[in-house]
């Protein structure tokens, strides 16, 4: 009898897990901008995004090669913390995550490395694409990582580490708690030649942590939404919710909750790493059904990619104020400057 009950429990758990498989959820429509939209200067019915000035280059690519994918927290007093993907040791560790602080959003501190891969672990090759949220007294740093040297940058999964301070030291999630060898919070199990899962973005809304991330396999790419409880061991509560955008023409997505409009706004780069790259804005009333609102090209750099926005510690913004965006750009692969620019979002409804 005990054996029968045990078998029943195993079968039930397997069936329960299968109900959350991403393959059961249909893909949203591909986002593609027409030539008319690219040249349009008329006011739209939804919202309009503008880039009013050339911004500030905070990193010039030289012998250090690149910084990209900034995650930026802006505090009420105007000070900011920012984390970046940077080169690792150029051999066994491809990428590290670095940190800088600013008291005014213009003058930035000396850069320091705050997160490295753990040798012999599931993130041993690389830690990159930072996303930081503050809750329960900790800075939680989500990142993309992989163990697979043979996949040459593919076969990634999503990880997280935490610290009481923005510059560390950080303890990595180990599957049951904090510290020691890392385990993914969302693991890629597809073909190893697929890029995998990563490029996170965090937002606290209501009683949930919203987790947005890229999933790219041999069948294509999309942005997914997961949710977790606001508990100390929240990685154990992560559940898949929905696919929100196809990644055929857009880059990774950084999402914030707009307190002024009471809606979710997603920022990305359209036609990344090309002469036609531009910032693109999406909106969603519920955080999962996103629609394209507007794009902006003027004063936005060519060959841009991996955009991040300045958000509150909870992942919120106010669209009635200027919004700081940061992104990498550069025509030559791996030689990427990083620029911070302010944008405005004007809603017409």
- Per-position pLDDT tens, the chain of length 349: 333 333 333 332 333 333 333 444 455 666 666 655 555 544 455 789 999 999 999 999 986 689 999 999 999 999 999 999 999 998 899 999 999 999 999 999 999 999 999 999 999 999 999 999 999 999 999 999 999 999 999 999 999 999 999 999 999 999 999 999 999 999 999 999 999 999 999 999 999 999 999 999 999 999 999 999 999 999 999 999 999 999 989 999 999 999 999 999 999 999 999 999 999 999 999 999 999 999 999 999 999 999 999 999 999 999 999 999 999 999 999 999 999 999 999 997 6
Q: What is the pLDDT of residue 41?
A: 45
Q: What is the pLDDT of residue 13?
A: 32
Q: How far apart are CA 347 and CA 73, in angstroms?
A: 24
For domain 49-347, the CATH superfamily is Glycosyl hydrolase domain; family 43 (2.115.10.20)
Q: What is the pLDDT of residue 90?
A: 82
Q: What is the pLDDT of residue 348?
A: 79
Q: What is the pLDDT of residue 248?
A: 87
Q: How far apart are CA 135 and CA 155, in angstroms?
A: 29
Beta strands at 323-329 and 337-347: parallel, antiparallel or unpaired: antiparallel
Domain ranges of the chain: 49-347
Q: How is 215-249 classified by DSSP, letter by letter?
A: EEETTEEEEEEEEEESSTTGGGG-EEEEEEEE-SS
Q: What is the pLDDT of residue 113?
A: 98
**DSSP run (H or E) holding 73:** strand 68-74
Q: What is the pLDDT of residue 288?
A: 93
Q: How far apart are CA 98 and CA 65, in angstroms?
A: 14
Say if residues 112 and 99 touch (Cβ distance below 8 Å).
yes
DSSP state of 301: P
- Burial group, residue 130, by CB count within 10 angstroms (0-12, 13-18, 19+): buried
């Amino acid at each position: 009898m005990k054996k029968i009950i045990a078998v029943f429990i195993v079968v039930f758990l397997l069936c329960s897990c299968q109900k959350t498989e991403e393959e059961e959820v249909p893909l949203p429509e591909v986002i593609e901008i027409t030539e008319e939209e690219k040249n349009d200067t008329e006011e739209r019915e939804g919202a309009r995004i503008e880039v009013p000035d050339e911004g500030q280059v905070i990193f010039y690519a030289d012998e250090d090669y690149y910084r990209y994918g900034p995650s930026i927290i802006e505090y009420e007093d105007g000070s900011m913390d920012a984390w970046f993907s940077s080169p690792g040791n150029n051999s066994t560790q491809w990428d590290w995550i670095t940190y800088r602080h600013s008291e005014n959003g213009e003058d930035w501190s000396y850069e320091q490395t705050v997160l490295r891969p753990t040798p012999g672990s599931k993130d041993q090759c690389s830690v990159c694409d930072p996303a930081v949220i503050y809750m329960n007294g900790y800075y939680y740093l989500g990142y993309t990582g992989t163990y697979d040297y043979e996949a040459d940058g593919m076969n990634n999964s999503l990880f997280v580490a935490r610290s009481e301070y923005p510059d560390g030291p950080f303890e990595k999630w180990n599957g049951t708690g904090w510290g020691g060898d890392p385990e993914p919070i969302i693991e890629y199990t597809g073909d190893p030649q697929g890029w995998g899962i990563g490029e996170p973005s965090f937002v606290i809304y209501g009683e949930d942590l919203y987790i947005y991330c890229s999933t790219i396999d041999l069948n294509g790419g999309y942005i997914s939404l997961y949710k977790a409880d606001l508990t100390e061991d929240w990685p154990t509560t992560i559940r898949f919710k929905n696919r929100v955008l196809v990644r055929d023409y857009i880059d990774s997505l950084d999402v914030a909750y707009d307190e002024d409009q009471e809606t979710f706004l997603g920022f990305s780069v359209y036609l990344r790493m090309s002469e036609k790259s531009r910032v693109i804005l999406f909106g969603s009333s519920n955080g999962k059904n996103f629609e394209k609102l507007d794009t902006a090209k003027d004063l936005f750099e060519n060959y841009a990619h991996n955009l991040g926005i300045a958000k509150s510690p909870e992942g919120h913004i106010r669209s009635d104020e200027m919004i700081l965006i940061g992104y990498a750009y550069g025509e030559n692969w791996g030689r990427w400057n990083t620029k911070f620019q302010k944008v405005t979002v004007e809603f017409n409804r």
